[in-house]
Structure 1
Amino acid sequence: MSQKFAVMIAYDDDPNVKRYSPDFQTQDEFAKGWQSALKKAHHTSGQKSVITCGCRGKGEKRLYVRALPNGDAFILVKAANTGIEHDPSCVFFSLDARHTGLKGYASGVVRITTEGDMAVRLGIGMTEKDPPEKSEVPPLPHVQRPEGGQASMTLLGLLSLLWTESGLNVWYPKMAGKRNDSLVRYRLLETAKQIRTGRACIGDHLFIGVPDPKQPVAQSQIQRLSSQAMSDKRLMLLSVLPRYDAEKHEKPLKFLPLRNFGGLPLIFFNSEGHWDSVKKRFSSEYAAWKSGAKIVVFALTSPAAVTGRGPSVRAHQIVLMHVSENWIPLDSSYEAVVAEKLDAEHRQYVKPMRYDASISEVFPDFYLLDTKRDKPFPMEVFGMATPAYLARKQLKKDYYNREYGPYGWWHWDATTASETMVLPHFPESRKPLSTGTPA
């Protein structure tokens, strides 16, 4: 997952730059010393400092210190709009909001608080006292961005935010074999602790399933979500769908099927037609599931009701998201083909998340991060041949040619692909892989 790199702190009154290693930042034995260094660099200390990240990215990579709400602990955060300056493997890496669906929200829907947390304005309530949801799935995106931007974030947008802030939309070769279920779960739960909506912390509402219901972590989670403290709180439950089985899953379902169900309550649908609404709203994801793909499921539910058979909830809203075997979000089966080839060629790339952006917004399907250019290299897959799509295809081509030049972006017209799915060559990477053959 995301790595920490050395941090340099320079003070106006000291010619010697202080360097703090990743171990010093993370190991318990150095915790007191690290917090002391951050406190000294905080603006309230009266000393002027310049803090920079030591990752391999390009640019100033400026950081600054934020005090946590209790006032006794401090954290480092990146300066605004500098995430792209960091190396893709760095914990501070991110795409500029202008290159993701975040730009579609109105001012204040997503913001960083003075305490360093991320505050979001959700269009869904977090307690059972809140008004019921208007639909059992998030609404379809607007055709055009509303004037002034979208006024709130949906459950689908929140899933995109969790994925982005956890670094799960970024891939680099050193992560091969490491991004497993438990690591994904850990990163999402840690990220959720830093996101608030109103007075609620998302980390207090998010519960993620594990494979074995007998694991201590599963039993502990069941106890927590069933506790009196959670009796009036809506839950956010996340897992993946099990392997598709037509005999099991094409008949009427009463509850949501899950692969990693350990530590989660039984999730009943809100109505007889709820699952049909999910299949219709997320038709691409449902088709991918039937074809054997990995599908993340994210549900907003009622508080848990505990009976002799265990805890159960009723789903208010359900979201599906297609991901690769490396947990990179995908919008189509053609994107899956591209991601698989990128992985096979050991490339670094990022998936820009659409959040709740309108249909008219243009974002690449991927950005390559390891080309010889200083900036991310956009990649687009054209996957349909309907008249409406062809018109939009031309608008996209015009946009990319205008923004990046005719040779500054990669594309694949999948509608003309043969059964062998031969893709155009990717742009050359900065560091060509060694073939193992002596020069």
Structure 2
Amino acid sequence: MRRFRIGSEVFEEGALDLQATLASAYARRERPLCLCREPGCPMYIARIGDLHLIKRMPLTGGGHDPCCDSYESPYELSGLGPLMGGAIQVDSDSGMAALKLDFSLSKTGSRAAPQQIGNGPDSVSGETRKLSLRGLLHYLWHEAELTIWTSLWTGKRHWWNVRWHIAEAAKQMIVKGRPLAETLFVPEAFRLEKKGEIEQRRAEALAPAAAPASGSRRLMVLVGEVKEFEPARVGRKLVVRHMPGFPFMVDDDLHRRLLTRFEREFSLWEADPQSHLMAIATFGLNPAGLAVIEEIAVMVVTENWIPYESIHEKKLIEALATMREKSVKGLRYNLRADQPIANAMFQSRTQPVALYIVPSGADDTFEASLQEMIAARAEIGSWVWRISEGDMPPVPF
């Protein structure tokens, strides 16, 4: 069980008086210290209703003890590594992450062809110094801790919970000097009896995206679950779950390029009715008040919102979900599919283990990069599944 220092006192995670102390510390903007290691790792306090939670500061997981629930694998083992210090710059004092994006959050003049579809910037090499649209979705998912699962969590996650964690993560991010939370729109869980109140809150949240009388238009970022792409008289309508009667307009060219670029994600989504297809998109409101998508990327996730990019990853995730210890799904961010990552991390109580999947047809460059990753982190155990060699080998737990 984790122990925290708050002010001059030390509390165990399950202490009865912890909530009252956290409420007081939250009001004072005081940071707890996780005592898994001395002199302690700074954390921050988040509030959901009357409940206060202690959360890890962005990208500080490597500073925690491997036995601590706040530990995370070195970011060099995922697509996060090439982005650190460039696309993502974390202030060690405030914990805020300044993001550099390779897509625009404003629009001037007529609509141009989107950059995030086809062979766009979310398929670039590790030297990229800006965060792609898909990369931003991965970073939000990572910082919201939606990549984590353990069999000790009974039941399943629900959208209201996913939404809250994403919104909290966005509060720790800055884009061009402004909080990302001011630009991000994540629809709240829809309830028919609250329809009027929900629509009023949505109108207020989307007001910044309204078309101005002149000058450039401000764009917002949508993160939501795809229900379907309906045919429209011109183009398509993206229907987002929890937003009935509020379509996002998508032109035909953008839709065609989306299906081509993310063919794998759409095929996985169609094959598994329990999975969700998540969309991240930039959008604005036209003079008629309609939401128009400018750029878009998608990601497929399991029933419990864990991302995956192949049936092999899904099989591994399902195996990890039966374990009592925590597992963390690795994400690709900007990296191409032909570059290795630790597909998941199993947090053993004795040693963390990185799990790697080598796809069929992987070349010598892939293998060499994989061996370099494993050798560079000798203190972390490794497990490798080469798809060409057959079924998944026994997991080392």
- TM-score normalised per structure 2: 0.79
| Residue in structure 1 matching 2:105, options 126, 149, 154 | 126
Provide the rounded CA distance (Å) in 1 between the counterparts of 2:76 and 2:279: 27
Provide the rounded CA distance (Å) in 2 between the counterparts of 1:143 and 1:319: 14
| Residue in structure 1 matching 2:129, options 141, 151, 172 | 151
Structure 2 counterpart SS, 1:8: strand
**1:18 corresponds to:** 9
Structure 1 counterpart SS, 2:80: helix
Provide the rounded CA distance (Å) in 2 between the counterparts of 1:130 and 1:18: 58
Residues 41 and 64 in structure 2, CA contact (< 8 A), matched pair in contact too = no
Between 1:235-244 and 1:124-133, the stretch displaced more is 124-133
**2:358 corresponds to:** 382
Residues 296 and 322 in structure 1, CA contact (< 8 A), matched pair in contact too = yes
Is it true that 1:426 corresponds to 2:391 in the alignment? no
Question: Relative contact order (alpha carbons < 8 A, sep ≥ 6): 1 or 2 greater?
Answer: 2
Residues 208 and 218 in structure 2, CA contact (< 8 A), matched pair in contact too = no
**2:202 corresponds to:** 222
| Residue in structure 1 matching 2:174, options 180, 196, 203 | 196
**1:135 corresponds to:** 114
Is it true that 1:261 corresponds to 2:246 in the alignment? no
**1:242 corresponds to:** 227
**1:317 corresponds to:** 295
Distance 1:335 1:133, change over 3 A: farther
Code of the aligned partner of 2:23? A
Distance 1:427 1:371, change over 3 A: farther
Distance 1:213 1:301, change over 3 A: farther
Provide the rounded CA distance (Å) in 2 between the counterparts of 1:106 and 1:372: 28
User: What is the CA distance between 1:282 and its match in structure 2?
Assistant: 1.1
State the percentage of identical aligned residues.
17
Distance 1:190 1:76, change over 3 A: closer
Write out aligned runs for 1:24-173 (5 A): 26-27=19-20, 31-32=23-24, 35-36=27-28, 38=30, 52-54=33-35, 59-60=37-38, 62-64=40-42, 78=57, 81-83=60-62, 85=64, 90=69, 92-105=70-83, 107-113=85-91, 115-129=94-108, 135-137=114-116, 139-141=120-122, 144-146=125-127, 150-173=128-151
User: What is the CA distance between 1:369 and its match in structure 2?
Assistant: 0.9
Provide the rounded CA distance (Å) in 1 between the counterparts of 2:88 and 2:384: 31
User: What is the CA distance between 1:392 and its match in structure 2?
Assistant: 4.2
Kindly provide the CA deviation profile for residues 366-424 of structure 1, in whole angstroms up to 9, marking residues without a partner as x: 11112632xx2111223323xxx24345325533563467x94212233444xxxx532
Kindly provide the CA deviation profile for residues 58-94 of structure 1, in whole angstroms up to 9, marking residues without a partner as x: 5447234899xxxxxxx9865975545257884x443
- TM-score normalised per structure 1: 0.72
Is it true that 1:288 corresponds to 2:264 in the alignment? no
Provide the rounded CA distance (Å) in 1 between the counterparts of 2:156 and 2:225: 18
Residues 371 and 427 in structure 1, CA contact (< 8 A), matched pair in contact too = no
Provide the rounded CA distance (Å) in 1 between the counterparts of 2:104 and 2:18: 37
Residues 58 and 172 in structure 2, CA contact (< 8 A), matched pair in contact too = no
Code of the aligned partner of 2:219? R
Residues 25 and 34 in structure 1, CA contact (< 8 A), matched pair in contact too = no
Residues 78 and 330 in structure 2, CA contact (< 8 A), matched pair in contact too = yes
Give the gaps of 5 or more residues in structure 2. Answer: 46-53, 212-216
Deviating runs (4+, > 6 A) in structure 1?
130-133
**1:14 corresponds to:** none
User: What is the CA distance between 1:358 and its match in structure 2?
Assistant: 5.1
Q: CA RMSD in A?
A: 3.8
Kindly provide the CA deviation profile for residues 24-62 of structure 1, in whole angstroms up to 9, marking residues without a partner as x: 6654x8634665593xx8xxxxxxxxx7414xxx54472
Provide the rounded CA distance (Å) in 2 between the counterparts of 1:164 and 1:19: 28
User: What is the CA distance between 1:144 and its match in structure 2?
Assistant: 4.1
| Residue in structure 2 matching 1:355, options 333, 338, 342 | 333
Provide the rounded CA distance (Å) in 1 between the counterparts of 2:55 and 2:161: 22
Give the gaps of 5 or more residues in structure 1. Answer: 11-16, 42-50, 68-74, 429-439
Between 1:192-201 and 1:131-140, the stretch displaced more is 131-140
| Residue in structure 2 matching 1:273, options 249, 253, 256 | 253
Higher-strand-fraction structure: 2
Code of the aligned partner of 2:255? W
Kindly provide the CA deviation profile for residues 79-130 of structure 1, in whole angstroms up to 9, marking residues without a partner as x: 975545257884x443333222222137342122454422111122223359
Distance 1:127 1:25, change over 3 A: farther
Between 1:317-326 and 1:395-404, the stretch displaced more is 395-404
Provide the rounded CA distance (Å) in 2 between the counterparts of 1:125 and 1:331: 26
User: What is the CA distance between 1:207 and its match in structure 2?
Assistant: 1.7
